Amino acid sequence: MLSRVESNATFPSSVNVLSVDPTSPESLAAALRGQDAVVSAIGRDGLLGQSVLFDAAIAAGVERLLPSEFGCDLPNANTATLPVFGYNIATRNYIEGKVKEGADITYTYVVTGAFLD
């Protein structure tokens, strides 16, 4: 599990927690080396910052990304027009753009079926 350096959160001793600077691709990549997947559980305020996490995952050789965007089916044209999903769409565009550019990583979107689905 990754935690921000400045976090005061506490965890049970059985949880392996690495403190990282979430704005530093180098700090994140060092923590992600050797991992098969990254499951992002970043809250809404951090959604646009996920690009740093994704770049670090790619640099670290992570095989699969699951971005923090659990919710509606964004390829649905009606859903995509709602402003609340703007960050989610930006995240998808970023990931898909990286893959199109040749990034060696796969991704999974988790659609939980919120109010419009």
For 32-67, write each residue's pLDDT tens digit.
Answer: 999 999 999 887 777 778 899 999 999 999 999 999
3-state secondary structure of 55: helix
Domain ranges of the chain: 2-107
The pTM assigned to this predicted structure is 0.85
| Count of other CB atoms within 10 angstroms of residue 109 | 17
Among 62, 63, 52, 60, which Cα is nearest to 91's?
Answer: 52
Q: Can you give the pLDDT at residue 48?
A: 76
Per-residue pLDDT tens over the stretch 80-97: 888 888 888 888 999 999
Contact 114, 85 (CB under 8 A): no
For range 14-19, the mean pLDDT: 93
Residue/partner pairs of 71-75 with CB below 8 Å, 24 or more apart: 71/111, 71/112, 71/114, 72/111, 72/113, 72/114, 72/115, 72/116, 72/117, 73/111, 73/113, 73/116, 73/117, 74/109, 74/111
Residue 117 has pLDDT above 50, yes or no: no
What is the end-to-end Cα distance of the chain in Å, rounded?
A: 31
- The dotted CATH code for 2-107 is 3.40.50.720
